[in-house]
C-alpha cells in the first residue's frame, strides 16, 4: 500500500486522538486568538442595549445538560448584560432540564451580589412549563391562568415583578436559547407572528442554517449561533468566560479538520492518478 493510499484511510483512532489534542492544548494554555464578532450576535447585543431601563424581558432556557456547553456561556453573558442594564427578567424553561440549568447560570451571574438585583422584584423563575408551543402561547396569552406559582412554589401574587404582567403586552422583549428546533421556530410563530414582539433567538451552530432565515427576514432581531455567538456576546458585554476559551479550541479543532480534509483530498487524487497511470 502506497503512502497516498494509507493517507486516504487514516484510522479513526488517529483522527480522534489528534482532535482530542487540538482540544486539550488550547484549553490548558489559552492563546487568546483573535475573534471577529458576527453581525447576528452584535444585533442581539444592540437590541438589548436599546431597551429602556426597567423593561421586562421574557427569557426561555430551552436546553438541558447536552446543550449547556454550547449555550450556557451565552446565557450567562446575556444575563450579565440584562442585569447590568437594569432590565427585569421573567425566566421560564421549555426544556425539562432547563430547571437544572437555571441554578448553574445564576451561580455564575450572581445577580444579587453583582447587580443588587432582588429575586421577585427584578427577576423570577417560573420553572419548566410543559407543552412547547402551548406553553409559549399560554405565557404570552394569559400568564396568570397558566402559572400560579414560581419554581420554588411561591404564589405569583407574592412576587411584585409579576403583579402587572399578564401576557405579551407587558413584555418588551422575548429571548430564548434552545437546542430544540420546535422551540426555536415555536417562539417565532408565537411571539413574533402572533404578537409582533421583538424576539432574540439562540441555538446550536448546526441549527443556524435553519434558523437564520428568520433573522434575515427580521422576525428574529438577533441570533446567537452556538459557542461562536456566545464568545461574541462575552466579548461585547465585557464578561469573558468559557466561550472565549472555547473559541481557541474551536479555531484549533476546525483548522485540524481542514488539514484532514486537505489530506483526504490530496491523497484521494494522487491515488486515483497513480491507478490511472498504472492501467
Partner 1 sequence: MALITEGRVFPLIAFILAWVATYVAVGMGKEGKIHIRRIPGLDAIEEVIGRSVEMGRPVFDIIGMGQFTDIYATQTIAGLSILSYVAELCARLGAKLYAPQARVDVMPVAVELVRDAYRAEGKLDELDVDEQMPYLSGTQFAWASGIIGMAARMKPAGNIMIGPFWAESMMFAESFDRVGAMQVGGTARTYQIPFFAALCDYVLIGEEIFAAGAYVSKDPQQIGSIAAQDWYKMAAIIISIIGALLSTAGINIITEILSR
Partner 2 sequence: MDYKRDLPLAITFIVGIIAVLDYYTGVQAITDTFTIIKNWGVVLQGFALGLGAVNLFRVHGRRISQRREGSDWLFSGWLLLMLTVFVVVGLSTGQYDQGPTYSWLYNAIYLPLGSTMYSSLAFYMAYGAYKVLRARNFEAGLLFITAILVILGNTPVFPAIYPGFFHMREWIFGPIVSGAYRGVRIGIGIGAVILGIRTLLGMETGYLGRR
Which positions lie near partner 1, rule CB under 8 A? Answer: 12, 66, 132-133, 179-182, 193, 204, 206-207, 209-210
Q: Which of 99, 133, 166, 194 binds partner 2 (CB under 8 A)?
A: 99
Give the 3-state secondary structure of residue 55: coil
253 binds, among partner 1, partner 2, none (CB under 5 to 8 A by kind): partner 2
Which is nearest to 67 in space by CA: 230, 271, 259? 230
Instruction: Evaluate whether 173 touches 47 at the Cβ level (below 8 Å).
Output: yes
Give the 3-state secondary structure of residue 148: coil
Minimum distance from CB of 206 to partner 1 (Å)? 6
Give the DSSP per-residue string, 147-175.
-SB-TT--BGGG-GGGTT--SGGG-SEEE
Query: In which residue are the cell numbers 401576557 written?
Result: 167
Report CA-CA distances (Å) from 257 to 4, 69, 117, 249, 251.
Answer: 18, 20, 44, 12, 10
Kindly state the cell numbers that stand for 186: 415555536
Residue 182 within binding range of partner 2, rule CB under 8 A: no
Q: Which of 5, 23, 133, 194 binds partner 2 (CB under 8 A)?
A: 23
Q: Which of residues 138-167 bind partner 2 (CB under 8 A)?
A: 151-152
Binding site for partner 2 (CB under 8 A): 10, 12, 15-16, 19-20, 23, 33-36, 38-39, 64-70, 97, 99-100, 103-104, 130, 134, 151-152, 205, 208-210, 212-213, 216, 228, 231, 247-248, 250-251, 253-258, 260-261, 263-265, 268-269
Amino acid at each position: 500500500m502506497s503512502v497516498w493510499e494509507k493517507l486516504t484511510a487514516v484510522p479513526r483512532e488517529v483522527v480522534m486522538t489528534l482532535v482530542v489534542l487540538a482540544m486539550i492544548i488550547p484549553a490548558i494554555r489559552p492563546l487568546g486568538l483573535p475573534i471577529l464578532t458576527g453581525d447576528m450576535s452584535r444585533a442581539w447585543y444592540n437590541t438589548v442595549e436599546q431597551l429602556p431601563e426597567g423593561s421586562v424581558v421574557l427569557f426561555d432556557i430551552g436546553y438541558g445538560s447536552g446543550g449547556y456547553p454550547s449555550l450556557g456561556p451565552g446565557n450567562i453573558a446575556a444575563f450579565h448584560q440584562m442585569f447590568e442594564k437594569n432590565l427585569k427578567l421573567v425566566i421560564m424553561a421549555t426544556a425539562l432540564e432547563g430547571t437544572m440549568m437555571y441554578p448553574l447560570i445564576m451561580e455564575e451571574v450572581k445577580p444579587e451580589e453583582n447587580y443588587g438585583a432582588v429575586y421577585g422584584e427584578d427577576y423570577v423563575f417560573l420553572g419548566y412549563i410543559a407543552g412547547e408551543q402551548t406553553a409559549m402561547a399560554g405565557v404570552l396569552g394569559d400568564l396568570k391562568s397558566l402559572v400560579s406559582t414560581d419554581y420554588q412554589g411561591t404564589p405569583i401574587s407574592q412576587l411584585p415583578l409579576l403583579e402587572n404582567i399578564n401576557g405579551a403586552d407587558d413584555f418588551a422583549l422575548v429571548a430564548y436559547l434552545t437546542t430544540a428546533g420546535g422551540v426555536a421556530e415555536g417562539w417565532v410563530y408565537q411571539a413574533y407572528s402572533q404578537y409582533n414582539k421583538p424576539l432574540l433567538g439562540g441555538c446550536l451552530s448546526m441549527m443556524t442554517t435553519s434558523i437564520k432565515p428568520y433573522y434575515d427576514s427580521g422576525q428574529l432581531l438577533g441570533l446567537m449561533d452556538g459557542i461562536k455567538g456566545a464568545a461574541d456576546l462575552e466579548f461585547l458585554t465585557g464578561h469573558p468566560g468559557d466561550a472565549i476559551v472555547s473559541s481557541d479550541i474551536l479555531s484549533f479543532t476546525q483548522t485540524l479538520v481542514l488539514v484532514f480534509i486537505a489530506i483526504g483530498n490530496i491523497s484521494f487524487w494522487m491515488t486515483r492518478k497513480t491507478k490511472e497511470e498504472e492501467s
